[in-house]
């Protein structure tokens, strides 16, 4: 029988399996998984560029140049020239510098939105899953309703509350979309922990309830939530771009962020498509990177190791 | 069965009540309060005070909520600050366009997604499987509106195969019967009108279908793989049933259960995706209403669309749950 690529990948991952803790086992599986490596390399590159963006970018994000503005008129945006390898944008700024600097803002929006959503979701999920009863009922009813609103509509309605759109409103709007997802996931996996042997044992030993919840239940229940957070990073960046496209994005014209740049470039699509293509390509690659990493993380943490 | 349906119907009520409470709270936290938000640019202190009295905003919160609920239940969502027309009338006029677009997109996603997911699973690890997985991953990562512009630039502007925007050529002067352009042409036997509407529909529908398509392919694939590894399929195979019978009656039927849930969940995504797609193709449906409402801060319209979106989503998922009970008898017992 011929071996397929998927089988070879599985054999490679499963090789030398067994005899370790779940976490180290998962880490080892990840290191041997080509899909995880591709995802990690993309995400790693993105983070490095984002962190060192101010050092890497030759010019500032809001800086405009006379040589780029000279030929700037309706129907013409100057392309590559001496000193500006990617040419200028619609305001005569260095496009390359803006692409590099935008990585930082994009990472910031994605990470902050995900972290805020994660933090609130963890609090809600822990309370609901650990204590049950009426707390659980009330919290889960509210998350159900939040889940009942299609995610982009929810983000839109939160962002529309602000008197004027800004980066902060985008981050908050995208963060709130993630809250019910994280909360539900964590509650589910906390519930399955509640009657497990080690929790019963800890309780029987007289460990106080908060300690049981935080030290014994939460660490064991958090796996799926972390996976979801990795996947959410991808959707957060895409949602932020959609909000920008709808005019709910950052109003600061000097700010460089891929979603914002892509949204603004739609007007100049027939003049200089590159202004849209580069940010779009960057978003697609980064979203793909986070998705690949998240999916392989999910597989590595799944003890059944199927699929 | 009847008891299951009734119980499930009753469960929806608290969700909807809480939803109305949430939208009510949302309205009250609008910048400057609902009155100035509703009046928009026309807001003067006198008019705000006037509207506050008319809207009952000088009353206790509970009374206000009661009135809000009463108005919503009677379909009174107020007047759009952009057009000055009742919001409900506007929605009624724009609804067919969005339904037509969403149905077309869902058809593409389901009719293409289930066979593709099934084929990918049955040739697991093969070239079709790998390319399908990569395709679905990339499909989800592409911003919807960018894909729309891309399709438009290439197939409409560059090649001229499809019209770049709108629902139907105005020059055709097609008869409007139901508001569904394709259906109207069939009803009135204006075949060219139907054909024109289909041409207009193609690119937006493909744009809107990408994400649901990717999700349906992946769920079908995973679910088929799951079922193919189960004991009853091995039993069916080992007792010598024809492979076609096993595939049709055992694998596909069981594998489609999770798929049907996911299709229900996609309806919400379609509504949200329609906002982006309609803006790209100037479609003139609910998404366009919403996009304009955001730009021009038309809060009465925004509120109505938000409630409607959530309501549709809740009801569709209720239907999915009920259909689940018909497909799988075990669900009724739990």
User: Per residue, what are the HEC states of B45-94?
Assistant: HHHHHHHHHHCCCCCCHHHHHHHHHHHHHCCCCCECCCCCCEHHHHHHHH
Please give the interface size between A and B, counted as residue pairs whose CB atoms are below 8 Å apart.
Answer: 132
Averaged pLDDT, A186-190: 85
What the block records as the tokens of B162 is: 């499809």
Domain positions in chain A: 34-64+85-305
Q: Do B276 and A245 touch (CB under 8 A)?
A: yes
B161: closest CA of chain A, how far (Å): 18
Is the pLDDT reported for residue B178 higher than 50? yes
Chain A residues in contact with B279 by the CB 8 A cut-off are 245-246
Averaged pLDDT, A254-282: 80
Q: Do B143 and A156 touch (CB under 8 A)?
A: no
Chain A residues in contact with B31 by the CB 8 A cut-off are 161-163
The dihedral over CA atoms of B52, B56, B57, B58, expressed in degrees to the nearest 10, equals 90
- The beta-carbon neighbor of A145 closest among B22, B291, B305 is B22
User: Could you give the CA distance from residue B90 to residue B53 in angstroms, rounded to a whole number?
Assistant: 26
Is the pLDDT reported for residue A83 higher than 70? no
Q: Do B225 and A246 touch (CB under 8 A)?
A: no
Chain A residue with Cα closest to B302: A157
Is the pLDDT reported for residue A120 higher than 90? yes
The mean of the pLDDT values for chain A is: 80
Chain B residue with Cα closest to A246: B291
Chain A residues in contact with B143 by the CB 8 A cut-off are 238, 241-242, 245, 259, 262, 280, 283-284
A200-255 residue pLDDT tens = 888 888 888 888 888 888 888 888 888 888 888 888 988 888 888 888 877 777 77
pLDDT at A35: 80
Chain A residue with Cα closest to B20: A145
Q: Do B153 and A270 touch (CB under 8 A)?
A: yes
Which one is predicted more confidently, B29 or A38?
A38
The separation between the first and the last C-alpha atoms of chain A, rounded to the nearest angstrom, is 19
User: pLDDT grade, residue A306 (50/70/90)?
Assistant: very low
Q: Do A273 and B153 touch (CB under 8 A)?
A: yes
Please name the residues between 218 and 237 in chain B that touch chain A, using a CB distance below 8 Å: 222, 225-226, 229
What the block records as the tokens of A78 is: 């100057």
Is the pLDDT reported for residue B197 higher than 60? yes
User: pLDDT grade, residue A117 (50/70/90)?
Assistant: very high
- Cα angle A235, A239, A240; round to 5: 120
DSSP single-letter state for residue B225: H
Chain B residues in contact with A283 by the CB 8 A cut-off are 141, 143
pLDDT at B330: 67
User: pLDDT grade, residue B262 (50/70/90)?
Assistant: confident
Percentage with pLDDT > 90 across chain B? 2
Chain A residue with Cα closest to B272: A152
User: Could you give the CA distance from residue A9 to residue A32 in angstroms, rounded to a whole number?
Assistant: 9
A302: closest CA of chain B, how far (Å): 14
Please name which of A149, A121, A114, A62 lies closest in space to residue A238, comparing C-alpha atoms.
A114
- The beta-carbon neighbor of B306 closest among A157, A245, A276 is A157
Query: Model ipTM?
Result: 0.78
HEC secondary structure over chain A: CCCCHHHHHHHHHHCCCCCCCHHHHHHHHHHHCHHHHHHHHHHHHHHHHHHCHHHHCCCCCCCECHHHHCCCECCECCCCECCECCCECCCCEEHHHHHHHHHHHHHHHHHHHHHHHHHHHHHHHHHHHHHCHHHHHHHHHHHHHHHHCCHHHHHHHHHCCCCCCCHHHHHHHHHHHHHHHHHHHHHHHHHHHHCCHHHHHHHHCCCCHHHHHHHHHHHHHCHHHHHHHHHHHHHHHHHHHHHHHCCCCCCCCCCCCHHHHHHHHHHHCCCCCHHHHHHHHHHHHHHHHHHHHHHHHHHHHCCCCCC
- H or E stretch covering B275: helix B253-281
Q: Do A157 and B26 touch (CB under 8 A)?
A: yes
Which one is predicted more confidently, A110 or A79?
A110
Q: Do A142 and B18 touch (CB under 8 A)?
A: yes
Chain B residue with Cα closest to A291: B137
Superfamily of domain A34-64+85-305: MetI-like (1.10.3720.10)
What the block records as the tokens of B172 is: 């055709």
DSSP single-letter state for residue B240: T
A126-183 residue pLDDT tens = 888 887 788 888 888 888 888 877 788 888 888 877 767 788 888 998 999 889 989 9
- The beta-carbon neighbor of B15 closest among A144, A283, A307 is A144
pTM over 0.90: no
User: Looking at the domain B96-296, which fold is it?
Assistant: MetI-like fold (1.10.3720)
Averaged pLDDT, B186-200: 73
Averaged pLDDT, A30-56: 83
User: Could you give the CA distance from residue A249 to residue A279 in angstroms, rounded to a whole number?
Assistant: 15
- The beta-carbon neighbor of B141 closest among A266, A276, A291 is A291
Q: Which residue has the tokens 């991808």?
A: A234
Q: Do A280 and B125 touch (CB under 8 A)?
A: no
Q: Give residue A212's Cα distance to chain centre.
A: 30
> Which of A27-36, B75-84, B145-154, B180-189: highest mean pLDDT?
B145-154
- The beta-carbon neighbor of B309 closest among A153, A263, A287 is A153
CB-based contact (8 Å) between B315 and chain A? no
A165: closest CA of chain B, how far (Å): 11
Domain positions in chain B: 96-296
CB-based contact (8 Å) between B124 and chain A? yes
pLDDT at B300: 80
- The beta-carbon neighbor of B294 closest among A151, A163, A247 is A247
Q: Do A234 and B141 touch (CB under 8 A)?
A: yes
Percentage with pLDDT > 90 across chain A? 6
Q: Do A160 and B15 touch (CB under 8 A)?
A: no
pLDDT at B33: 66
* Residue A112 · residue A86 · CB < 8 Å: no
Helix and strand element counts for chain B (H, E): 15, 0
CB-based contact (8 Å) between B113 and chain A? no
B239: closest CA of chain A, how far (Å): 24
- CB atoms < 10 A from the CB of B235, how many? 12
By the 10 Å C-beta count (0-12 exposed, 13-18 middle, 19+ buried), B52 is classed as: middle
Q: Do A242 and B15 touch (CB under 8 A)?
A: no
- The beta-carbon neighbor of B314 closest among A148, A276, A285 is A148
Chain A residue with Cα closest to B139: A284
- 3-class DSSP state for residue B123? coil
A61: closest CA of chain B, how far (Å): 23
pLDDT at A270: 75
- The beta-carbon neighbor of A150 closest among B30, B137, B268 is B268
* Residue A33 · residue A296 · CB < 8 Å: yes
User: Could you give the CA distance from residue B318 to residue B315 in angstroms, rounded to a whole number?
Assistant: 5
Q: Do B294 and A259 touch (CB under 8 A)?
A: no
pLDDT at A19: 54
CB-based contact (8 Å) between B269 and chain A? yes
Averaged pLDDT, B283-303: 82
B120-176 residue pLDDT tens = 888 877 788 888 888 888 888 888 888 888 888 788 777 878 777 777 666 666 666
Please name which of B169, B44, B18 lies closest in space to residue A139, comparing C-alpha atoms.
B18
Which one is predicted more confidently, A90 or A181?
A181
B214-242 residue pLDDT tens = 888 988 888 888 887 778 878 887 887 77
């Amino acid at each position: 029988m011929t071996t397929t690529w998927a089988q070879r990948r599985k054999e490679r991952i499963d090789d030398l399996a067994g005899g370790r803790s779940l976490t180290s086992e998962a880490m080892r599986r990840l290191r041997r998984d080509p899909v995880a490596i591709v995802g990690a390399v993309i995400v790693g590159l993105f983070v490095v560029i984002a962190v060192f963006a101010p050092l890497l970018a030759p010019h500032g994000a809001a800086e405009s140049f006379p040589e780029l503005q000279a030929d700037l008129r309706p129907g013409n945006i100057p392309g590559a020239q001496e000193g500006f390898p990617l040419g200028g944008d619609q305001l005569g700024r260095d496009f390359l510098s803006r692409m590099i600097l935008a990585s930082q803002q994009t990472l910031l929006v994605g990470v902050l939105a995900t972290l805020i959503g994660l933090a609130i979701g963890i609090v809600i999920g822990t309370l609901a899953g650990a204590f049950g009863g009426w707390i659980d009922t009330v919290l889960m009813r509210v998350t159900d309703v939040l889940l009942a609103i299609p995610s982009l509509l929810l983000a839109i309605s939160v962002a529309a509350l602000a008197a004027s759109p800004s980066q902060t409103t985008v981050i908050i709007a995208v963060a709130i979309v993630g809250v019910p997802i994280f909360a539900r996931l964590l509650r589910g996996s906390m519930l399955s922990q509640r009657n497990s042997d080690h929790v019963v044992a800890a309780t029987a030993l007289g460990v106080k309830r908060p300690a049981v919840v935080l030290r014994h239940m939460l660490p064991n229940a958090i796996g799926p939530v972390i996976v979801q957070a990795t996947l959410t990073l991808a959707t957060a960046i895409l949602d932020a771009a959609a909000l920008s496209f709808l005019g709910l994005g950052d109003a600061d014209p000097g700010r460089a962020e891929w979603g914002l740049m892509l949204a603004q470039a739609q007007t100049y699509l027939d003049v200089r498509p590159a202004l849209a293509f580069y940010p779009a390509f960057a978003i697609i690659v980064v979203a793909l990177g986070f998705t690949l990493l998240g999916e392989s993380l999910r597989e590595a943490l799944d003890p059944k190791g199927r699929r | 069965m009847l008891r299951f349906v009734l119980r499930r119907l009753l469960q929806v009520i608290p969700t909807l009540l809480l939803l109305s409470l949430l939208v009510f709270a949302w309205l009250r936290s609008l910048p400057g309060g609902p009155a100035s938000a509703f009046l928009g640019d026309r807001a003067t202190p006198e008019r705000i005070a006037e509207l506050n009295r008319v809207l009952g905003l000088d009353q206790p919160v509970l009374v206000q909520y009661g009135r809000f609920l009463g108005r919503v239940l009677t379909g009174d969502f107020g007047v759009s600050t952009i057009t000055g027309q009742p919001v409900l009338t506007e929605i009624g006029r724009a609804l067919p366009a969005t339904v037509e677009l969403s149905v077309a997109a869902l058809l593409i996603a389901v009719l293409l997604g289930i066979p593709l997911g099934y084929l990918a699973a049955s040739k697991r690890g093969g070239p079709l499987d790998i390319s399908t997985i990569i395709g679905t991953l990339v499909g989800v990562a592409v911003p919807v509106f960018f894909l729309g512009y891309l399709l438009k630039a290439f197939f409409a502007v560059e090649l001229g195969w499809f019209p770049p925007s709108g629902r139907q050529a105005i020059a055709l002067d097609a008869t409007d019967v139901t508001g569904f352009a394709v259906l109207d042409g069939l009803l009135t036997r204006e075949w060219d009108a139907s054909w024109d509407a289909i041409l207009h529909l193609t690119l937006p529908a493909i744009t809107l279908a990408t994400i649901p398509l990717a999700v349906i392919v992946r769920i079908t694939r995973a679910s088929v793989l799951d079922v193919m590894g189960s004991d009853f399929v091995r039993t069916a195979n080992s007792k010598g049933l024809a492979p076609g019978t096993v595939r049709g009656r055992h694998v596909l039927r069981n594998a489609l259960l999770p798929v049907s849930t996911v299709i229900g969940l996609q309806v919400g995504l379609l509504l949200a995706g329609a906002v982006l797609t309609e803006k790209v193709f100037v479609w003139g449906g609910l998404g366009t209403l919403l996009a304009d409402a955001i730009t021009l801060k038309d809060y009465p319209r925004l509120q109505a669309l938000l409630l409607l979106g959530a309501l549709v989503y809740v009801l569709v998922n209720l239907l999915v749950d009920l259909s689940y009970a018909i497909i799988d008898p075990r669900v009724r017992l739990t």
